[in-house]
Amino acid sequence: QVQLVESGGGLVQAGGSLRLSCAASGRTFSGYDMAWFRQAPGKEREFVAAISWSGIRIYYADSAKGRFTISRDNTKITAYLQMNSLKPEDTAVYYCARRLTSGAAMSSLATYNYWGQGAQVTVSS
């Protein structure tokens, strides 16, 4: 059984930075893609960023480009999301997710079959 646990969320002022981590247990992530999604109150869950486990393919939502960086450490079996220049509209619960490497769009929520329970990120003005 695979478990994903997010950490690193919290409260930060606009313009500040946070680094989210997603640690895995139970199995290795070999051959799997990792992604970050977020969900604000009253809104649907939306794609933020994704990375293939090899690191060859990386994809960002338009809202994240230039500000967020996704990375992974296969030795530690951990994925990261570095978030800079945070804005109040970034406030949401952030979820890490995993899927077996696929030709489907990396932004497709439905293709990810393992999910963490989320980390709250709150950005004040």
Query: So what's the pLDDT on residue 27?
Result: 65
Query: So what's the pLDDT on residue 92?
Result: 98
Q: What is the pLDDT of residues 9-62, one digit of tens each?
A: 999 999 999 999 999 887 665 688 999 999 999 999 999 999 998 888 999 999
Query: So what's the pLDDT on residue 76?
Result: 76
Q: 26-30, 49-53, 105-109, 110-114 — which is least confidently predicted?
A: 26-30
**DSSP labels, the chain:** --EEEEE--EEEETT--EEEEEEEESS--TTEEEEEEEE-TTS--EEEEEEETTSS-EEE-TTTTTTEEEEEETTTTEEEEEE-S--GGG-EEEEEEEEE--SS-TT-GGG--EE---EEEEEE-
Among 111, 110, 86, 125, CA closest to 33: 111
